[in-house]
Amino acid sequence: MNNNEQFEAEKGRKKRKEMTRRQFLSYTLGGTTAFLMAGPILPMVRFAVDPLLKKEEAGEHVKVVEVSKITTEPQEFKFKVKQVDGWYESEAELIAWISKDDKGEVFALSPVCKHLGCTIFWNTKGLNEYDCPCHDARYSKDGKNITVSRLPLDEYDVKIDNGYVYLGKIKPNTRMK
Ligand code: FES
């Protein structure tokens, strides 16, 4: 290869590496457009997936009543919890039947009958049991199913803090051993 041929080959290689004006313009315009579009689109994407990004507020308990008010006789207490369903937030009123057991431990039962979901009440028949008005299911003070229902009443997760009873999530009855 003579000098002239070498020069032409080198020139060709350099030419291939250089960016053309058309390429430069399309990269610049493409980058600017993507940058400008990201401004309005990113917040929309963020809003669309926001409930999925939020961590579940696990273990959140609600203050319900002073411990001093709890007796061995079950009492009905109403309390409010914040509910989040996707983007919709609301407040729901819940009911718990709270009492102390023989050891003085506070526990709280759900009022939802495990037969078909009616609301149970304490001692409406003078038997010291929970009764369901719908199909006569009966439960012991611990929530143990005595008649009709095949399952015991559910329990709330209970926390005692600074003289108050706090209730958390509903869980299967742990008092049936
Ligand atoms: S729903 Fe309570 S007994 Fe049927």
Q: Which among 145, 144, 150, 157 is positioned nearest to 94, based on CA atoms? A: 157
Q: Which among 103, 93, 107 is positioned nearest to 144, based on CA atoms? A: 107
Contact residues for 44 (Cβ-Cβ < 8 A; gap 6+): none
Q: What is the pLDDT of residues 124-151, one digit of tens each?
A: 999 999 999 999 999 999 999 999 999 9
Domains of the chain in sequence order:
3-53 (no CATH), 62-171 (2.102.10.10)
State residue 156's pLDDT score. 97
Mutational pocket test of ligand 1: of 131, 135, 150, the residue with most ligand atoms within 8 Å of the beta carbon:
135
State residue 7's pLDDT score. 65
State residue 123's pLDDT score. 94
Distance 150 CA to ligand 1 centre (A): 11
Gap between the Cα atoms of 124 and 113, Å rounded:
15
134 lines ligand 1 (CB under 6 A): yes
State residue 45's pLDDT score. 66
Per-residue pLDDT of the chain (177 residues; tens, 9 = 90+): 666 677 666 666 655 667 788 888 888 888 888 778 777 776 676 666 665 555 544 458 999 999 999 999 999 999 999 888 777 888 999 999 999 999 999 999 999 999 999 999 999 999 999 999 999 999 999 999 999 999 999 999 999 999 999 999 999 999 976
Mutational pocket test of ligand 1: of 131, 147, 148, the residue with most ligand atoms within 8 Å of the beta carbon:
148
Distance 98 CA to ligand 1 centre (A): 21
